[in-house]
Chains A and B, each alone.
Chain A
Amino acid sequence: MADNIPVATKALKEDFASDQDVRWCPGCGDYAILAQMKKVLPEIGIPREKVVFISGIGCASRFPYYINSYGFHTIHGRAPAVATGIKLANPELSVWIITGDGDSLSIGGNHLIHLCRRNLDVNVILFNNQIYGLTKGQYSPTSPLGKVTKTTPYGSIDRPFNPISLVLSAGATFVARTIDRDTKHMAEIFKRAAAHKGCSFVEVYQNCNIFNDGAYRLLTEPETKFDQVLYLEDGKPLIYGKEKNRALRSNGFEVETLELNESVENQDLPVHRENSESEAYAQWLSRIGDVPGLPVPVGVFRAVQRETYEQLSEQQLAGAIQKKGPGDLKQLFISGDTWKVE
């Protein structure tokens, strides 16, 4: 494959803008995500021609049309499958999967978990707006219990997925969450995801201002956000609050909230470790946001190194050639029992 990949070219932010009109609703959180992506890609330094955006179906999945790189708008829920083929065919490509909560947690749930377990080196950006937007407002697998939508006039009786917990159990090696309104944080997380070798999963809390406006209001309004959001920092304790005066720690499997004062100091608190060997810690962390009254963690939950799927695949190929020599068609045909007719 190497012969098809010419020398890299340097790209600027504008270079990643495609000539297509962006067709999301005015005010949609998707715009902020697109803007950050276009800003971050040149900073990462991957040439445009090596970038591939792959999506399924839904509002989010229009994304590839708006980025001037290679792109593939596939079918509902199946972007991970297509991405797997692309990455195995050419591991040098930087592959991004753009998906939504309906796309990857409902119809495409199976592909998402298998993508994570294989640890293919791709970046999944899940736009979670807790609603079906493109089909005009039905509840999604992340809508909260009791949510009233067009298809749940009496309130939803489905319990929602926690996407972070799901992909952690499925084996994703980089797992993070960010919020559409916090563009700086989002850019940082995108860069980290791109830099990670292995399956990176980023959940973006995204506001659908048409069908589910304000789903994350408490996390984004200045009056509330400091008590509602906990920014994870590697090597630092789990601290939040406007004055950075509150902390979380585990007490057995329970979560304990602490007010920081003279008797409890930072150094007494356990610190956040992205690369903790045990996945249980990240799982514990991922469930905190589900508990009423506790803040929602954003940032990197877990980042560990494992061999990637495409590395293993390439090793097997190279190993087979080393062991058996490069495939010879004539040899193949006469393998097994043959006989000659004169």
Chain B
Amino acid sequence: MKNIQEVSRVTIRFAGDSGDGIQLTGNQFTRTTAIALNDLSTLPDYPAEIRAPAGTLYGVSGFQIQFSSQNVHTPGDEVDVLVAMNPAALQAGLKSLKKNGIIIINADAFTERNLRMANFSENPLENGFLAGYQVYPVDITRLTRDALEKIELSHKEKDRCKNFFALGMVYWLYNRSMDATIEWIERKFSRQPVWAEANVLTLKAGRNYAEATELFATSYRVPEAEIEPGIYRQITGNEALAFGLIAAAVKAKRNIFYGSYPITPASDVLQYMASYKHFGIKTLQAEDEIAAIGAAIGASFAGDIGVTATSGPGLALKSEFLGLAVMTELPLVVMDIQRSGPSTGMPTKTEQADLLQGLFGRSGEAPIPVIAASSPADCFYAAYEAVRVALRFMVPVLVFSDAYLANGAEPWKIPDTEGLPEIEIEFAKAGEDYAPYLRDPETLARRWALPGTPGLEHRLGGLEKQDLTGNVSYDPDNHEKMVRLRAEKVQRVGEFVEEPEIYGDPRGDVLVVSWGSTYGTVLTAVEQLRKEGKSVSFYHLRWMNPLPKKLETYIRRFRRVIVPEVNLGQLRRIIRGNYLVDAVGFNRMKGQPISVSELKHAIEALLEEKNNGR
């Protein structure tokens, strides 16, 4: 008799060697979970080394998924189920496992050699080390070989199927249908029927094993979540950035010129863009970061939509050219997929420490509009909006993402392409009374005159421009006027874009202000605290420059303001400076997202203050 228990929220972590097919397993579980109508969020966790030696701790590849019958905003802090394909995966995964959590183990991989490499002096399956967890050691390798006895593949080849055995067990544990995965395997291996058969057999064997041996006393069911109808797909932040750019180009009916230099974690975007040439996308893998933005600026001058992407160190190299784009008032989109710094730092790990660099890291007064994506799918809308603003205001726009969003994935409701906001461009026309720095009174944008148009010949450059004519000018009053005009233009972006809404009551005890990829974590913490009846509200910024007007209004209406960030308090510094408010920070820099429970404690501590009569 199957004992089924209903639960509302689960986090599973699949972990093993890079060669164990962990990402594939995770993706299959994700897809099946999405089809079963749970909300979900996922995070792959690749080793930094390209080909890390098998069995090592630094070679562990992980994939985490949180799914629920309610809203899910993060891949989860604490893990309910750890699938460990070797000792290293167990060692690395234990610290995030819940007390009494489930561990499914490939016992065949617990050889002396592997144990040593994972820093176990004794076999943890034998010495009581795992007391306090529900441990299920299974001879996954052997059972896989048994299941494939009749298949004409070598032992080594058969072993490559063993991830499907583990997946089959987990499907049983969560009462999932195997149909979607079987269909996927058959499609994927349609030209290699032996492999299709082997993988399907292994998957079924895993499930049957769990069933027949009554391995788990209980299985679980996560009820359906309320999910908006529509067509969905999984999307990573980097894919979404590429899609957003392409969508904007299609809507604007212009070509995108994408110049970039390979840098982790932004390289994927260049790879995606290079594969979508049939959308009229021109890509240039430039000789360096500087040339990448320079070419994008040149392309914008000549009428394409110039785009470049990088990470923190690359943004530093691009800053002089960004200044030129500010001076020449050309449309441009620069995307910074932030990673842990300074210097080379931890290239595959996340951080939000480029905020001040992005806002201010240029010579002279060189403000630019800055937008920050809040989730993997939101990267689509952030990139799209950045292009709109760049074209409308003739201005370089910076888009912030980070390593967490870049690699993380979530279901994305595919938008109705007709419903996307229009992007209209009006070029200066031959014969019109053209002056390079004549401005639109509303947006302050100058007009875009394309080389090739007779009568509009003009010269741009980095030297200060005379108002209207654009001629070189060293006039003191003109310079001050232009500095103010360039800043004012960026401020006017605030009237064009939508301001975010507050989550929770518009006044109260504690206001949490955040930006970028902390969105999911903060929302989860605030949701939980509000359920507990706490007076906490949440304001998540989208445009970091210009800041929304409502921000100050809300800040004044709360007793305390807390700003959680994955840096030393860069937004907090801006908020304190702008609004003279004693905002406190919650700052963690571990190369990973902040944890919901830690943040909750910090907010609770602020709420306590009141009770203590502060």
Contacts and interface: CB of A to CB of B under 8 A. Distances in A.
Q: Do A and B come from one complex?
A: yes
B290 A81 contact: yes
A256 to B, nearest CB: 39
Interface string A194-209: 0000000000000000
A157 interface: no
B492 interface: no
Interface stretch (A30-38, A43-51, A159-167, A238-246): A43-51
Contact of A341 (B229, B246, B415): B229
B482 to A, nearest CB: 16
Contacts of B328: 72
A80 B328 CA distance: 17
Contacts of A5: 452-453
B302 interface: yes
Interface in B588-613: none
A213 B458 CA distance: 33
A341 B451 contact: no
Contact of A110 (B288, B292, B450): B288
B376 interface: no
B230 interface: yes
Nearest to A90: B302
B452 A329 contact: no
Contacts of B462: 57, 73-75
Contacts of A50: 451-452
A81 B414 contact: no
A293 interface: no
B606 to A, nearest CB: 38
A73 B460 contact: yes
Given A78-B291, A329-B250, A71 B324 contact: no
Interface in B405-462: 414-415, 417, 427, 430, 450-462
Given A111-B291, A317-B280, A82 B231 contact: no
B461 A317 contact: no
Given A18-B459, A49-B457, A317-B282, A81 B294 contact: yes
B233 A337 contact: yes
Interface stretch (B31-39, B102-110, B572-580): B31-39
B437 to A, nearest CB: 15
B503 interface: no
A334 B231 contact: yes
A321 B290 contact: no
A92 B303 CA distance: 13
Contacts of A332: 243, 246, 276, 279
A135 interface: no
B250 A327 contact: yes
Interface stretch (A62-70, A142-150, A269-277, A280-288): A62-70
Contacts of A53: 459
B228 interface: yes
B294 A82 contact: yes
B414 A338 contact: yes
Interface string B226-257: 01111111100000000100110010000101
B297 A329 contact: no
A80 B294 CA distance: 8
B169 to A, nearest CB: 23
Contact of B231 (A72, A326, A340): A340
B278 A327 contact: yes
B79 interface: no
B296 interface: yes
Contact of B37 (A18, A86, A313, A341): A341
Contacts of B232: 338-341
B184 interface: yes
B298 A75 contact: no
Interface in A286-301: none
22 contacts: A4-B452, A6-B430, A54-B298, A65-B461, A71-B457, A71-B459, A71-B460, A74-B294, A75-B323, A78-B291, A85-B294, A85-B296, A85-B300, A88-B299, A89-B301, A114-B291, A320-B277, A327-B276, A338-B231, A338-B232, A338-B233, A339-B231
The 8 A-B residue pairs with the shortest CB-CB distance in the complex, in nearest-first order: A85-B298, A81-B294, A73-B461, A327-B279, A85-B295, A85-B299, A89-B302, A71-B459
